[in-house]
Amino acid sequence: MRLLKSLMAASLAILMTLPGMATAAPAPGGYNWSGSYAGAVASGGLFTVEQEDYWCWWACNAPTLQDWDASIGLQAGHNWQNGNFVHGLVVDWSTGFENSESVRWNSNTTGVDWSAEWNSYATIRGRAGLAAGNALVFATAGVAIVDVDYSASEFQPSDNCSDTDVDCAAYSDTEYGFAGGIGVGYPVGDNMHLTFEYLYIGLPWAKDRYDSDEEDNPTDTDDYVSWTTSAHIGRVALVWEFDGL
């Protein structure tokens, strides 16, 4: 969490101190998209977790977790405009997504609890597009920075990863992945605009070994579990433009 916020703050500081680039006036009759902006972003989308249990310690067919979720966050950036062509940089930070599922056998007495969560996520992206009248149509791509927690925990029947005698695989770290999408922007006042955006975020494969905490056999398996997560996200951002006021 601290790392994500630090990266966003550093990126925003860079944006605010970039030297002014040669910027031509917008096309006649069009909205001027050049300048800095900051505001809020709301997101909702499909969060998917692909899981594999390689050596069938508990679940040869690990479930794919997939569900809809929502998040809110902050966004800031800077645009440069040359005629109809607009390009810029944007950084944002949002709360995360989570999903879980349980697989039970033997009348619910044994099984595995699967869980995956993005505690929070940030992106640092470039944008480029064309202004047409008051609208801006753009494509965007860059880096996603995600604070993740994954786990697969034996069910006996009410244990979790913190208990003894429970086999558990868990992975918790900051992951870096790809973020890209398309969107459209439109002014809603003299110094404010809305953007509607589709964004895909994909993270690389992560893994951990099932580990039993029994004192006499602390690592009694080399069965690895892996997680690969992604999200298809619809976003709405309302930002305030503060250059040239």
- pTM for the model stands at 0.80
In terms of residue numbers, what domain contains 95? 2-18+34-241
Confidence of residue 245 (pLDDT cuts 50, 70, 90): very low
- Per-residue pLDDT averaged across 71-78, rounded? 96
Q: Is residue 29 part of a domain?
A: no
Evaluate whether residue 209 is within a structural domain. Answer: yes
| Residue 216: inside a domain | yes
Is pLDDT of 76 > 90?
yes
More confident residue, 118 or 167: 118
Tens digit of pLDDT for each residue in 122-150? Answer: 999 999 999 998 999 999 999 999 999 98
Q: For residue 27, tell me if it sits in a domain.
A: no
Q: Supply the pLDDT for residue 100.
A: 74
Tell me the DSSP string of 152-221: EEEESSS--TTSTT-EEEEEEEEEEEEEEEEEEEEEEETTEEEEEEEEEEE---EEEE-EE--TT-TT--
Band (pLDDT 50/70/90 cuts) for residue 36 is: very high
Taking 90 as the threshold, does the pLDDT of residue 104 lie above it?
no
Answer whether 221's CB lies under 8 Å from 13's CB: no
Residue 23 domain flag: no
Give burial (CB, 10 Å; 0-12/13-18/19+) of 241: buried
Confirm whether 24 is domain-assigned: no
How many structural domains compose the chain? 1
- Which of the two residues, 91 and 209, has the higher pLDDT score? 91
Domain assignment present for 197: yes
pLDDT surpasses 50 at 20: no
Q: Is 60 exceeded by the pLDDT of residue 227?
A: yes
**What is the domain-level CATH number for residue 118?**
2.40.160
